[in-house]
Amino acid sequence: MPQMNMVQAINDALRFEMKRDSRVVILGEDVGKVGGVFRVTAGLYDEFGEDRVIDTPLSEGGIIGTAIGMALYGLVPVPEIQFADFIFPAYDQIVSELAKYRYRSGGEYSAKLVIRTPMGGGIRGGLYHSQSPEAQFIHVAGLKVVCPSNPADAKGLLLASIRDPDPVIFFEPKRIYRASRGEVPEGDHTVPLGKARVVRPGQSLTIVAWGAMLYESLAAAQQAAEQGIDCEVIDLRTLWPLDIETIVASVKKTGRLVVVHEAPKSCGLGGEIVSLVNEKAFLHLEAPPVRVTGFDTPFPYTLENEYLPLAHRILPALVETARY
């Protein structure tokens, strides 16, 4: 199997699916000739032409609004929003139209899109190139939300997302776009939506993480192991609807839960995971579930490594929870 980074794996998935399914089109800012500001769509314009890899005017609302119209007509658009931070001009189209189209038409119509967008901090991007807005989409009925942590999953989850009948917001953790490398299956390769992966099995504590924070969680788990704390680390992969069975089974085994995410703490996905565990595994808990997250502030530039829930902040939470 070829070695790829996440950018190459996503590019490979897009190329594969565009060859397989002529309905798939890409549109967005700078996605065509230049291949995207992160080069995720590099080469696709030359290969598939300007009708299928479309450089649009600079308007996220226009990109998503027209993509919805394309989807109603039967295309399968995979629009790119250049940074998740810039998705909000399209929020009305996503919340009011995309997410509700099937429901409000009694299942007769549907608007199937996969919105790809880089998310998260760690690239010195400050307020407007760093945010993790997954909870703002999970809270909207009708959207699936995905965030891969490695190249093979990025390809497999993207292909599954494009073939899924529902709209998907596909968040790409840009901090590990190139840092995460690994073997990626050639040709067709899907990873089912709604299935988490136990990356590190363990007995004494469950960590749930996704995207770039998976690696911080694994690093912290490694350090905790030196103190005799045996962490199980779950990569959520599909953020919504999430794999509750895997989480609950793990917590029933370990009795302890730490959720790690970059997004602000309050009303983040971590809060929802803790609530679900309280509902479904309360009597198995040996310690209060804990969230290690970004803060309820805008995302800072200079102090971003203080803001991010990096391994040095995760480790004390693991120790405290394990010794509670």
Partner 1 sequence: MTTTPTERSGAHRSLADTDAPDVIKVQREDGTLDPARDPGLSSAEVRALYRAGLLTRRLDERLITLQRQGRIGFHIGSLGEEATILGAAFALRPQDWILPCYREFGAALLRGMPLQRYVDNMFGNAGDPAKGRQMPDHCFWKPAHYASVSSPIGTQITHATGVAWAAKIKKDDVVALAYFGEGATSSADFHNGINFAGVFKVPAVFICRNNGWAISVPAERQTASETFAEKGIAYGVPSVRVDGNDLFAVIHTTRAAVASAARGEGPTLIEALTYRLEGHSTSDDPRAYRPDAELEPWKRLDPLPRLRRHLEVCHGLTDAEDQALLAEVDAEIRAAVEAAGETALPSLDSLFDDVFAELPWHLADQRDALRKGPRARGH
Which residues are tagged catalytic?
Answer: 129
CA distance 44 to 31: 9
Q: State which of positions 214-243 bind partner 1 (CB under 8 A).
A: 241
Q: How far is the CB of 281 from partner 1 (least distance, A)?
A: 14
DSSP reduced 3-state for 232: strand
Q: Which of 4, 13, 36, 102 binds partner 1 (CB under 8 A)?
A: 102
Residues in CB range of 147: below 8 A, 6 or more apart: 119, 134, 170, 171, 172, 173, 210, 211, 236, 237, 239
DSSP E strand boundaries for the chain: 3-5, 24-28, 53-55, 76-77, 114-119, 144-146, 168-173, 181-183, 197-200, 205-209, 231-235, 238-240, 257-264, 290-294
Cβ 168 to partner 1, closest distance in Å? 11
Nearest residue (CB) to partner 1, 51 versus 226: 51
26 bridge partner residues: 53
At closest approach, how far in Å is the CB of 50 from partner 1?
A: 10
| Binding residues among 110-129 for partner 1 as defined by CB under 8 A | 110
Does 241 sit behind a cis peptide bond, omega within 30 degrees of 0 on the bond before it? yes
Is residue 282 a contact residue for partner 1 (CB under 8 A)? no
Among 253, 251, 259, 254, CA closest to 277: 251
Which residues, 152 to 211, sit near partner 1 by CB under 8 A? 164-166, 194
Q: From CA 65, how far away is CA 61, in angstroms rounded?
A: 6
Q: Angle at Cα 121 formed by Cα 240 and Cα 235, nearest 5°?
A: 40
Residue 17 is a binding residue for partner 1 (CB under 8 A):
no
Selected from 106, 187, 228, 282, the binder of partner 1 by CB under 8 A is 106
Among 45, 83, 101, 210, binds partner 1 (CB under 8 A): 101
270 binds partner 1 (CB under 8 A): no
Helix (H, G, I), strand (E, B) or coil at 52: coil
CB of 260 to partner 1, least distance (A): 22
- The bridge status of strand 238-240 relative to strand 144-146 is antiparallel
Contact between 244 and partner 1 by CB under 8 A: the answer reads yes
12 or 134: CB nearest partner 1:
134
Count residues contacting partner 1 (CB under 8 A)?
44
Q: Does 94 bind partner 1 (CB under 8 A)?
A: no
Per CB under 8 A, 72 contacts partner 1: yes
Rule CB under 8 A: is residue 277 a binding residue for partner 1?
no
**What b/e string do you get for 200-216 counting C-beta neighbours within 10 Å, with b at 16 or more?**
bebebbbbbbbbbbbbb
> Nearest approach, Cβ of 262 to partner 1 (angstroms)?
23
**Among 136, 203, 142, 148, which residue's Cα sits nearest to residue 175?**
148
Both tokens of 88, joined, read 């909000």
Site membership for partner 1, residue 93 (CB under 8 A): yes
Applying CB under 8 A, the span of 87-95, 179-187, 226-234, 288-296 interacting with partner 1 comes to 87-95
Pairing label, strands 3-5, 76-77:
unpaired
User: Does position 51 bind partner 1 by CB under 8 A?
Assistant: yes
Residue with tokens 């995760």: 314
Q: Which is nearer to partner 1, 109 or 128 (CB)?
A: 109
Using CB under 8 A as the binding rule, whether residue 82 contacts partner 1 is answered as no
> Which residues of the shown chain bind partner 1 in the complex (CB under 8 A)?
25, 51-52, 56-57, 59, 61-62, 65-75, 89, 92-93, 96-97, 100-110, 141-142, 144, 164-166, 194, 241, 244
